[in-house]
Amino acid sequence: MNKGTDVMSLSRDEMETWMQQQSYPKYRGTQLFESLWRQRLAGYGQISAWPKELREIMSRTAPFYRLQAVTVQKAPDGTRKILARLSDGQQIETVVLPHHYGYSVCVSSQVGCNMGCKFCASGLLKRTRNLTAGEMLDQVRLANDLIASEEQGVSRVDLMGIGEPLDNYDNVVRFIKMAHDSHGFNLSHRKFTISTSGLIRDIYRLSQEKIPVTLAVSLHAPNDALRSQIMPVNRAYPITPLVEACQFYFAKTGRRVSFEYALLAGINDSVLMAQQLAKLLEGLSCHVNLIPWNPVPEHPFSPSPPKRVEEFQKIVQNRGISCTIRKELGQNIEAACGQLRRREDAAHHIEL
* Shortest distance, position 197 Cβ to ligand SF4, whole Å: 4
Q: How many residues form the binding site for ligand SF4 (CB under 6 A)?
A: 11
104 secondary structure, DSSP code: E
- Among the residue ranges 5-13, 21-29, 70-78, 113-121, the one whose residues contact ligand SF4 (CB under 6 A): 113-121
Contacts of residue 250, Cβ cutoff 8 Å, sequence gap at least 6 = 256, 257, 284, 285, 286
Site string for ligand SF4, 194-213 (x = CB under 6 A): ---x----------------
For binding to ligand SAH (CB under 6 A), which residues are involved? 113, 119-121, 160, 164, 195-197, 218, 260, 262, 291, 293-294, 296, 336-337
Contacting ligand SF4 within 210-239 (CB under 6 A): 218
Taking the C-alpha atoms of residue 228 and residue 99, their distance in angstroms, rounded to an integer, is 34
Give yes or no for a contact between 221 and 230, defined as CB atoms under 8 angstroms apart: yes
- Closest contact distance (angstroms) between CB of 323 and ligand SF4 is 20
**Is residue 292 a contact residue for ligand SF4 (CB under 6 A)?**
no
What is the closest distance, in whole angstroms, from the C-beta atom of residue 161 to ligand SF4 in the complex?
8
Helices (H) and strands (E) in the chain, counts: 11, 12
- Within 146-165, the residues that bind ligand SF4 by CB under 6 A are 163-164
- Could you say which of 113, 136, 142, 264 contacts ligand SF4 (CB under 6 A)? 113
Binding partner of 296, given ligand SF4, ligand SAH, none, CB within 5-8 angstroms per partner class: ligand SAH
Look at residue 78 and give the partner it binds from ligand SF4, ligand SAH, none, a contact being a CB closer than 5 to 8 Å depending on partner kind.
none
| Tally of CB atoms within 10 A around 49 | 13
How many angstroms separate the CA atoms of 105 and 97, rounded? 6
Report how far residue 13's alpha carbon sits from residue 35's, in angstroms, rounded to the nearest whole number: 15
To ligand SAH, the closest distance from the beta carbon of 315 in angstroms equals 20
**Interaction partner, residue 203 (ligand SAH, ligand SF4, none; CB < 5-8 Å by kind):** none
DSSP readout, 138-192? HHHHHHHHHHTTTSS---EEEE-SSS-GGGGHHHHHHHHHHHH-TTTT---GGGE
In contact, 179 and 212? CB cutoff 8 Å: no
Residue nearest ligand SF4, Cβ-based: 123
- Nearest to ligand SAH of 54, 337 (CB atom): 337
Rank residues 58 and 160 by Cβ distance to ligand SF4 and give the closer one. 160
* CB of 63 closer than 8 Å to CB of 115: no
The least distance separating ligand SAH from the CB of residue 198, rounded to whole angstroms, comes to 8
Query: What residues act catalytically?
Result: 93, 337
One of 29, 98, 123, 153 touching ligand SF4 (CB under 6 A)? 123
Residue 243 burial (10 A CB sphere; 0-12, 13-18, 19+): buried
Nearest-approach distance from CB 159 to ligand SF4, in angstroms: 10
Phi-psi region of 283 (alpha: psi -120 to 50; beta: other; left: phi over 0): left
What is the sign of the dihedral through the CA atoms of 185, 191, 193 and 194? positive
- Which residues lie near ligand SF4 (CB under 6 A)? 113, 115-117, 120, 122-123, 163-164, 197, 218
